[in-house]
Amino acid sequence: MGLVAVGFQEMLKAAQRLFFGPLSNEIDFSTTLLQKPWVALIPALGGLIVGLYFRFVVRRRAGHGVSEVILALETRQGRLAWLSGVHTAIVSSITIGSGGSAGPEGPIISIGAALASGLGQALSLPPNRLRTLLAAGAAAGLAGMYHAPLTGAAFSAEVLLEDLDPRTFSLLALAAVAASAVAEQFHVAAPVTVPALPPAPWQSVPISALLGLIAAPIGVALLLFVNGLHERTQRITLPDPLKPMLGGLVVGIIGLLLPRVLGSGEAGIDQALHDEIAAGLLFTLPLAKLAATSITLGSGATGGVFTPSLFIGATLGGAFGVAARTIWNGSGPEAAFALVGMGTVVAAAVNAPLTAILLVCEFTHDFTLLPQITTAVAAAVALARWLHPESIYTLPLTFEGIDRHLFRRSPLVRVHVRDVMDVSWPVVAPDDPLATARASGISALPVVTADGRLVGMIDERAMHAAAHDDATPAGKAALPPRAIARPDESLHDLALRLGRSSTIPAVVPVIDERGHYLGTIEPGAILRVYSAADWPDERLRRRITHISGMPRETLARLHARSRSKET
């Protein structure tokens, strides 16, 4: 993963040269670009390319990056397609290289997780080891990108696994150290340098807590704006490729006034730490970067939030330092507060205090202000979680009705379709007459070709449509199934889809990715797993019933159907 991180860094540089290369010497990102309005078109062009890539290559809308990694850990036993890592590397390089306000850490986490999961699946690892390998890949990717092994291991344990088990953490740390050591052989310079700072007075510790309290609402605003805008963008009736293009255009217009918001923001962080940003801009840049990042990611582009959050925190800390020195001259230099502020917004948005503290220290190679950073981060996380219980990674999951803490105690998540599907369910061939299906007395029959391809279903709808023509071939009378299931799909995911349907089918055909028929699953099987489980308490059962999208009326219908089949 160290080599992968280095390769991804080179992709980012190549993309930046591709979009800004011949013109980069003419652009001064420390001043306004109003005399070069064409610069606003560069992020728009990048957004259009990203949108077209998703539309014609990936053939789906942009996902939520790290949230999808968490979803794979919780619902697919750590299974991710390795090809998704390749797509992530390409689209995120285009987004960041063209000036989109996003960071490289989210993509490298997804890339590392996807490649590690693909390797684990190729080796047929059991689910528990596959989950650990996926988390180790994510840790190694983040460590290789930032040369921060402790940060990579802490992120995977704190955010992805939510488990600080010593044995697991040791494996994560080994992977992160190895990746960081390899990456440093190719690139040893720290991305951000910190000037020599005088010893901070003891009074700076409680003042840092105040900075954390100020940063917390900004971190919460970031997670709400990014996810809220993403959900609203999906409902806009525009061609999907145009959405990130328009988002890039808006970001480009913001960049004409404040060029530092373009890209990931590492240069701006370095300038904030060296007091190279005017005091007035320090008060403006945090909100501008917040808006640019929300628009970039919310419009459908791909990238991370770590580096933009570090930028927001550094400039916010610098502004706070200016105000603190005005009120009390002995509070410390602005650069010290910029360093302290770097981790506050990250911690508030990601809900990862340990990761944020280690990230700031390893990112800057400076542990001088560790007490102040710890105090500010702790205050930011405490207030942020009081304001909003979710993080920027778990909020997209809640939009889908997914509560990972409840999932871990739900039997519907631990059982997959392949575990309960019926491979002996009767089928009919496309050339069989409809009379054959009627004579079977079964309410729903899959129509399957000789090579195993599912054509459709003969159910009560098909029977009614051909009520007086028993000679009709089953392949002609078959209708598309109301629902299909995948063998690796959890029963919870299937129950979620069935619960949202107005009509519950008698059986659901199970097919693989190539459309080949594997068997069927009865909705009653979900009910039997649900009812036979050893629940800790009735309140949890009721909450799972609600979260899984299966209301009591739905369960009653399934229960009645299951009982009627048994009798």
The full DSSP string for 63-99 is --THHHHHHHHHHSTT---HHHHHHHHHHHHHHHHTT
3-state secondary structure of 521: strand
What pLDDT is recorded for position 218? 93
Domain ranges of the chain: 2-184, 204-399, 404-566
Q: Residue 331: its pLDDT value, please?
A: 56
pLDDT for 267 equals: 80
The predicted-structure confidence for 245-287, as pLDDT tens digits, reads as follows 898 899 888 888 888 888 888 888 888 888 888 888 888 889 9
Q: Look at the domain 404-566 and name its fold.
A: CBS-domain (3.10.580)
Q: Same CATH fold, 204-399 and 2-184?
A: yes
Q: What is the CATH number of domain 2-184?
A: 1.10.3080.10
Cα 132 to Cα 120: distance, rounded to the nearest angstrom: 10
User: How many CB atoms are closer than 10 A to CB 386?
Assistant: 10
Alpha carbons 174 and 96: distance in angstroms, whole number: 29
Regarding pTM above 0.85, the answer is: no
Predicted local distance difference test score (pLDDT) of residue 467: 59
Residue 356: CB partners within 8 Å, gap ≥ 6? 343, 344, 346, 347, 350, 377
Q: Distance between CA atoms of 148 and 138, rounded to whole angstroms? A: 13
In the DSSP assignment, the letter for residue 159 is I
Q: What is the pLDDT of residue 148?
A: 84
Q: Find all residues with CB under 8 Å of 59, minimum gap 6, and list them.
A: none
Residues of the chain with confidence (pLDDT) below 70: 22-35, 59-64, 187-193, 196, 198-200, 202, 329-333, 401, 406-410, 465-470, 500-502, 531-567
Separation CA 413–CA 298 (nearest Å): 29
CATH code of the region 204-399: 1.10.3080.10
* pLDDT at 544 (0 to 100): 45
User: Using CA atoms, how far apart are residues 452 and 504, in angstroms rounded to an integer?
Assistant: 25
Instruction: Give the model's pLDDT for residue 332.
Output: 61
Nearest to 509 by CA among 493, 521, 499, 500: 521
Mind listing the pLDDT tens digit for each residue in 392-439? 888 887 777 677 776 666 677 777 888 888 888 888 888 888 887 777
